[in-house]
Structure 1
Amino acid sequence: MAESSNSVVGVDNTFRKKFDREEYLQRAREREEKESEKKSKSKSKGPPVQRKPLKHRDYQVDLESRLGKTQVVTPIAPLSQQAGYYCSVCECVVKDSANYLDHINGKKHQRALGMSMRVERASLEQVQQRFEVLKKRKDTGGLTEQDFDERILKQQQEEEERKRQRREKKKEKKREKAIEEEPEVDPDIATMMGFGGFGSSKK
């Protein structure tokens, strides 16, 4: 008993993991070097994409070609044949004309075309050249009053033709309706009932 009380019993903590500080410092340095290399590589890829400045479109936006037409829409139809306005650049369908105009004037569509939303600033020479071109067009009579009169006359004629066609269609429908509604009467039965004399005064 005396011997056991004199001997000091220590705590066994050899199961705890001992860290080598130098090894972990080395690992941290290597990791930092790799991260700095990645950052330098991403910076050395080159300047950001240079987009062309915004320019006016050189085509007419078609909003009225399918106006008033009926179309069968199926869910398996390709996007270009679905209801609404199809944008071939972004490959999407927009349901109405106002949203379609917003889309083609918007940032996403312009970026897909390779343009930024910034407008190129015109120089003094460019403005002067533009004025000269417009002045020459005016002097040579690019559009005269006679041209305007001809265009107005042509539009009036087209409008009258449309009205005439509408009137003819209405008359045709009325004729068809009258034929459908006219009851078929047997002439013998009509004379027996006394209806024979209504058609005309002649016998």
Structure 2
Amino acid sequence: MTDQSHTEQSLETLQDIKRMMERSSRFISLSGLSGVSAGVCALIGAWIAHGWIESYLSEAPVETYKGAAGGFRTGSWSSFEIKLVLLALAVLVAALATSTWFTWRKARKSSLPIWDHASKRLAINMIIPLAAGGFFVVGLLTHKGWEYVAPSCLIFYGLALVNASKYTLTDIRYLGLLEIALGCINMYYPHEGLYFWTAGFGILHIIYGLIMWWKYERS
């Protein structure tokens, strides 16, 4: 065996070890199509919400409660608010279901487990910021701070992605930073929340998903 062939064999061995270590410490089965599907669900939800809001505002206004920007009607705002929250939950369930399916499909093709030590750590590190954000958003809704719900969702979701990026593809960190930046900007334009929500959860997810698919799954 020549020195050159021995060196090549050693490099291949090192690469195999590196791949094994990466698989054991990071969840690498996350599919780019999961991001695309989540973004599509978000765009559909935003389109439905926009239609509802336009219809609601076009109705003849009655009394407005104190501090209501734009003049929302007191009689139906509470029920309309619940309707929007239920829509957001439906979008979340649809996004999680489609994302899980695409990730499971990728894991099966790669002969990798979808639920192992790395995926557990990924889930835990995402759940902590998301749970805190959920309680924060409920508090905003309780105290009529609905206009800050969209930026809060973007910021806490971005924090969850950054926190979880240590246990999956590092590219997800950049998506998290963009979500945080978008949420911070949205804080200064609170009544444009639906558009920022659409950009963050819809457009950014689709762009990120396509980049990840092109980078890691295209072959």
Give the TM-score category using the shorter length: under 0.3
Give me the TM-score of the superposition, normalised by structure 2.
0.20
Whichever structure has more strand as a proportion of its residues is: 1
Task: With a CA cutoff of 8 Å and minimum separation of 6, indicate the structure with the bigger relative contact order.
Answer: 2
Give me the TM-score of the superposition, normalised by structure 1.
0.21
Whichever structure has more helix as a proportion of its residues is: 2
